[in-house]
């Protein structure tokens, strides 16, 4: 049986955001046919064998890579990638999140922004250069990675001749849905949340308020609906995202709260849940809502994004109102799952919500079944089961060296600006010591 190590950069357990959820669900899907271990930082809990190790736990992760046939990770440190390249294990780079584009939206205008952006780009290049197989969340993302790899010289000629579609090397594994429909545990919003009546209508923003999203448009849309006499509420389901370093989370929740407060909407028709809803309890929030909403501005992040929160809406049968311009909006339009509006179109957003509240449009039967994790993960499961028969792309050592060693100046600059020169010296010492221990 194929031994697979799935690596999560964030703790897995009760409260999780997208990266940890994806690692957990892919591990579950793979465990049906493979011997799976999930590596995640402590404290973590998982329904599969667990290795409590984060990205900083180099020795534990390296040993895990040595004892498995396939390693699946959304990111790995540069030094570990260089060791992984020499191991028999196959590496699957899970690039469902185009980090280098997301970073552009998350930058704060600080002096080291250019270095941060370069570091993100080099990190992604290193994953592509080391990978035997790349997976992503949509066809748009696949085009992005094929273009990036082509420009970097990572589309191997022999590999292309073996498979002119190149799907043996870069394929789509989107986010998925649970195999079972959601089940109501009890009301959490209507008649329970302060200010929301049992007969009121609820629009749910089902995730964090990230800096690249547009919380203001739904807030203003609800304000207009209230002015029309509709008993509508907008609920933001999560504000304080779980993270090893909360300061690294690029959120604009404070700005959204301030905007709602300044307009006298906070607590009356706009509500913020300041904690993070446990993964197993999100169904109660979904089933106690009438519409699922998501909004973003017109930028690169939106074009290549995959709004996983919208999949939860589909799972719960909620009609969707979302901004146009991404793969999920195209899915909503193609399958008739709700309405899409132009980015920043407050009137359009309000109208779409009003129409769907007046005449709900249920999710067509069978849609959720076709989006289950068991379906979504098939290309990855197939790769793991048949990895020995799959061709290995040529690894360009020069590109790997550029992408791995090339990260160190950017890492040093980032550390110096945030933690001082002393931390740079200490980090270099640890790297040299580690290199000496694992010289091969």
> Could you read off the pLDDT of 68-83 as tens digits, one per residue?
999 999 999 888 998 8
Instruction: Find the mean pLDDT for residues 13-20.
Output: 94
Pick one of 3.40.50.2000, 3.20.20.70, 3.50.50.60, 3.80.10.10 as the CATH number of 3-176+375-437. 3.40.50.2000
Confidence of residue 112 (pLDDT cuts 50, 70, 90): low
Tell me the percentage of the chain whose pLDDT exceeds 70: 89
Return the domain boundaries, the chain: 3-176+375-437, 201-371
Instruction: Find the mean pLDDT for residues 374-381.
Output: 97
Confidence of residue 410 (pLDDT cuts 50, 70, 90): low
In this predicted model, what pLDDT tens digit does every residue of 290-345 receive, in sequence order?
999 999 999 889 999 999 999 999 999 999 999 999 999 999 999 999 999 999 99
Instruction: State the pLDDT at residue 439.
Output: 53
**Got the DSSP string for 151-198?**
HTT-S-HHHHHH-TT-TTTEEE----B-SS-------SSTTTSTT--T
Instruction: State the pLDDT at residue 415.
Output: 60
Q: CA nearest 14: which of 38, 51, 45, 42?
A: 45
Instruction: State the pLDDT at residue 99.
Output: 85
**Tokens (6 digits) for 102:** 């997301």
In this predicted model, what pLDDT tens digit does every residue of 159-208 receive, in sequence order?
899 899 999 999 999 999 999 999 999 899 999 999 999 999 999 999 99
Q: Do domains 3-176+375-437 and 201-371 have the same CATH topology?
A: yes
Which of 4-13, 77-86, 355-364 tops mean pLDDT?
A: 4-13
Instruction: State the pLDDT at residue 109.
Output: 64
Q: What is the residue-averaged pLDDT of the chain?
A: 89
- Residue 403 to residues 16, 78, 152, 265, Cα–Cα distance (Å): 30, 8, 10, 48
Instruction: State the pLDDT at residue 370.
Output: 87
- Residue 89 to residues 72, 182, 203, 224, 362, Cα–Cα distance (Å): 10, 37, 46, 57, 45
Pick one of 3.40.50.2000, 3.10.20.600, 1.10.443.10, 3.90.1150.10 as the CATH number of 201-371. 3.40.50.2000
- CA-derived radius of gyration, the chain: 22
In this predicted model, what pLDDT tens digit does every residue of 242-288 receive, in sequence order?
876 766 678 899 999 999 999 999 999 999 999 999 999 999 999 99
Residue of higher predicted confidence among 362 and 214 = 214
């Amino acid at each position: 049986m194929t031994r697979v190590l799935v690596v999560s950069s964030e703790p897995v357990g009760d409260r999780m955001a997208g990266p940890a959820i994806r690692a957990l669900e892919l591990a579950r899907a793979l465990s049906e046919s493979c011997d799976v271990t999930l590596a995640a930082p402590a404290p973590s809990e998982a329904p599969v064998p667990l290795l409590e190790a984060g990205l900083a736990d180099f020795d534990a992760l390296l040993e895990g890579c040595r004892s498995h046939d396939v390693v699946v990770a959304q990111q790995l440190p540069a030094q570990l990638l260089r060791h992984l390249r020499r191991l028999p294990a196959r590496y699957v780079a899970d690039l469902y999140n185009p980090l280098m584009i997301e970073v552009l939206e998350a930058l704060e205008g600080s002096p080291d922004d250019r270095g941060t952006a370069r570091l993100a780009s080099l990190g992604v290049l290193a994953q592509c250069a080391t990978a035997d197989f790349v997976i992503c969340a949509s066809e748009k993302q696949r085009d992005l990675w094929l273009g990036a790899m082509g420009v970097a010289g990572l589309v191997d000629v022999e590999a292309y001749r073996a498979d002119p579609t190149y799907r043996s090397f870069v394929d789509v594994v989107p986010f998925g849905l649970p195999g079972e429909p959601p089940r109501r545990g009890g009301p959490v919003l209507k008649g329970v949340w302060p200010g929301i009546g049992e007969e009121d209508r609820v629009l749910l923003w089902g995730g964090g308020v990230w800096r690249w999203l547009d919380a203001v448009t739904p807030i203003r849309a609800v304000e207009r609906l209230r002015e029309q006499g509709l008993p509508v509420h907008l609920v933001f389901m999560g504000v304080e995202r779980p993270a090893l370093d909360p300061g690294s989370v690029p959120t604009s929740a404070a700005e959204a709260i301030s905007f709602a407060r300044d307009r006298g909407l906070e607590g009356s028709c706009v509500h913020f849940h300041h904690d993070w809803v446990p993964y197993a309890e999100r169904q109660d929030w979904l089933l106690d809502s009438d519409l699922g909403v998501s909004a973003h501005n017109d930028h690169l992040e939106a074009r290549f994004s995959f709004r996983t929160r919208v999949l939860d809406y589909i799972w719960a049968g909620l009609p969707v109102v979302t901004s146009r311009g991404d793969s999920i909006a195209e899915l909503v339009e193609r399958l008739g799952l709700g309405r899409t509006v132009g980015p920043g179109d407050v009137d359009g957003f309000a109208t779409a919500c009003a129409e769907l509240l007046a005449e709900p449009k249920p999710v067509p039967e069978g849609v959720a079944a076709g989006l289950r994790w068991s379906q979504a993960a098939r290309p990855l499961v197939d790769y793991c089961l048949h990895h020995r028969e799959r061709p290995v792309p040529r690894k360009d050592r020069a590109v790997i060296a550029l992408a791995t060693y090339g990260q160190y100046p950017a890492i040093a600059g980032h550390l110096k600006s945030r933690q001082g020169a002393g931390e740079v010296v200490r980090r270099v010492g640890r790297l040299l010591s580690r290199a000496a221990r694992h010289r091969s």
